[in-house]
Amino acid sequence: MNPLVRWFHQLGSPPYFDRFAARWTPWCYLAAMVLFGFGLWQALFVVPADYQQSDSFRILYIHVPSAWMSLFVFGLMAFYAAIALIWRIKLCEILAMACAPIGAGFTVITLATGSIWGKPMWGTWWDWDPRLTTELILLFLYLGVMGLYNAIDDRRAAARAAGLLSIVGVALLPIIRYSVVWWNSLHQGQTISLMGGSRMDPSMMLPLWLMVAATKFWFAGSLLARARADNLRREAGKDWVARLAGTKP
């Protein structure tokens, strides 16, 4: 068997995943903190003020990575949920449900920083703008997935029901992404392009990419930590969990 395929098969084993998560979670958090620290220092003290928005533009270094993560995490959650529904892989159910509260957190940060940024730019904390409204709906979808998962006692049935909701909710992601293109929007248009052609000055890009990388590592650490905890709860009573807890020789 191909070594990579064999590794993925092993990762589906609860004891193996527990060891994997325990090993890599601290490293993910450490990488995130280093990148956050360097990125924030660059964003606050190195990058020059914007010629139009002055220093208020600096909130984008939190807002933009969080907004990207709010979409990325929902898409990943739906991907794990689809695998779980098709192949009945328990670890994918666990990972999908672990994504929901983390993605909801990123969405709350996106909405909060957007409001703070919007107050001096638009003169209001909130407007029923297409981008803002669809991002708020995304938060409700995250909360719906979490609520449905916790409303059903059977963990596997709950994960399947909540996972199905996340798969349906994926249709919202391109609407959020292209809302500033399809409708007249108070929200500014696309400034940063991953494929080039960004309207942001190159001198301001480094801290942004550092913060983007930091949020990815933070998400990875949080996902592994939450999934490990859920995995241990589901496997409670198994011999390997008892040995891990030191209650069985």
Tell me the per-residue pLDDT of 183-209, one tens digit each, with 9 for 90 and over.
767 666 666 665 555 667 777 889 999
Selection from 158, 141, 157, 140 nearest residue 149 by Cα? 158
CB 30 within 8 A of CB 95: no
Hey, what are 121's tokens?
Answer: 């730019």
pLDDT bracket for residue 126 (50, 70, 90): confident
Rounded CA separation 228/25 (Å): 10
pLDDT given at position 188: 66
CB 149 within 8 A of CB 97: yes
Percent of the chain at pLDDT above 90? 67
Q: How many residues does the chain have?
A: 249
**What sign for the dihedral angle of Cα 70, 75, 81, 84?**
negative
Q: Residue 136 contacts by C-beta under 8 Å, 6 or more apart in sequence?
A: 111
CB 169 within 8 A of CB 225: no
Average pLDDT of the segment spanning 36-53: 89
What is the gyration radius of the CA atoms in the chain, in angstroms? 20
- 24 has pLDDT over 80: yes
Selection from 113, 159, 169, 160 nearest residue 139 by Cα? 169
Hey, what are 98's tokens?
Answer: 């672990």
pLDDT given at position 196: 56
Rounded CA separation 101/96 (Å): 10
